[in-house]
Amino acid sequence: MTVRGCRDFAHLVGAFADGQLEAGRQLDVEAHVEGCGGCQERVKLEFATRASLKRAVRESASDAVRARVTAAMRAQTDRSAGQVVAQKKSAAWRTVVPLASAAAFALAWSAMSRGPLARTTATSSLHAGFGDDLLAELVAEHGRPSPPECTNPKNVGQLEQFVGVPVRAATLQGQHAKLVGGCVLPVRRERAAMLRYELSSGGETRRVSIIVFDPRRIQVSDSELEARPVGTAQVRVGRSNGYSVAVTQRAGVGYALASDMDMGKTAELALATEE
């Protein structure tokens, strides 16, 4: 068999291995391959490539992804049925708008902060979840992050002057946590700090959003959450829009977390928010 013959068939070998050639063609290629050691190897290499690709690409969706997608689909079903869950929330959020344009805030963060309109849009896009403003905002922000105002972990402490409690970039149990960014988040007539992290482990990246707030000024109505003891501490956990949520308080500072991970993991992280 000449090299010329192989060249004639080379572009068909893949389709032949796929069994996708039209019958006559399939037989032609088969006849050539049977008598040609080189092309037999070529067919085997095609199969080998395929098998390796299957291994490399097949990865099952995590429980968190499954939960999130299921929740979004349920919300769509509810919406189609005219049951717009978030409707009652939008009124409450309008009261926040004047605050966001307060002069000092605008001066400090004007370069990158979002306008009040954008915030209203983000909130109305929330389709299932908590009646509580802080948690609703947390979940909405986690789902559609706004641009960060500061990305350097060292500068995160400056958010304290707006929030009234210490704000630190946490190492989150040292799990290769990377601070993506932080910003001031208006909540009702108060402000909180919003910090976003990415945790990587085993090649996977998981997002965690944390609101740091002053519990004397912002109360979380956590009736929709369940208590979960982690060690000696109490964390309240729940689930909204496919994300898991955890709320805790330590040393007079409130922490609310939303993450793509499961509730147990989120509860653990809630206790690792300090340093």
Q: How many residues bind another protein (CB under 8 A)?
A: 51
Asked if 212 and 182 touch (Cβ cutoff 8 Å), the reply is no
Interface with another protein, residue 112, by CB under 8 A = no
Measure the CA–CA gap between 129 and 6, rounded to whole angstroms.
Answer: 62
- DSSP H or E run through 64: helix 63-80
Interface positions, 200-239, toward another protein (CB under 8 A)? 204-205, 207
Closest CA to 189 of 118, 106, 251, 98: 98
Interface with another protein, residue 196, by CB under 8 A = no
Q: Which one of residues 55, 107, 111, 154 is an interface residue with another protein (CB under 8 A)?
A: 55
Question: What is the CB neighbour count within 10 angstroms for residue 149?
Answer: 20
Segment near another protein (CB under 8 A), from 37-45, 113-121, 155-163, 211-219?
37-45
Interface with another protein, residue 104, by CB under 8 A = no
Q: How far is CA 272 from CA 17, 76, 110, 170, 240, in A?
A: 53, 35, 32, 7, 22
Interface with another protein, residue 260, by CB under 8 A = yes
Torsion angle, alpha carbons of 235, 240, 244, 249, to 10: -30
Interface with another protein, residue 47, by CB under 8 A = yes
CB of 18 to another protein, least distance (A): 6
Q: Which is nearer to another protein, 14 or 264 (CB)?
A: 14
Interface with another protein, residue 7, by CB under 8 A = yes
Q: Which one of residues 27, 31, 65, 92 is an interface residue with another protein (CB under 8 A)?
A: 65
Measure the CA–CA gap between 213 and 233, rounded to whole angstroms.
Answer: 18
Interface with another protein, residue 125, by CB under 8 A = no
Asked if 177 and 198 touch (Cβ cutoff 8 Å), the reply is yes
Q: Which is nearer to another protein, 119 or 207 (CB)?
A: 207
Interface with another protein, residue 251, by CB under 8 A = no
Closest CA to 68 of 268, 260, 196: 260
Interface with another protein, residue 101, by CB under 8 A = no
Q: Which is nearer to another protein, 48 or 233 (CB)?
A: 48
Q: Which one of residues 27, 31, 41, 94 is an interface residue with another protein (CB under 8 A)?
A: 41
Token pair 């068909």 is found at 12
- How far separated are the first and last CA of the chain, in Å rounded? 71
Measure the CA–CA gap between 153 and 66, rounded to whole angstroms.
Answer: 32
Interface with another protein, residue 82, by CB under 8 A = yes
CB of 74 to another protein, least distance (A): 8
Binding residues vs another protein (CB under 8 A): 3, 6-7, 10-11, 14-15, 18, 20, 37-42, 44-61, 65-66, 68-70, 72-74, 76-77, 80-83, 204-205, 207, 260
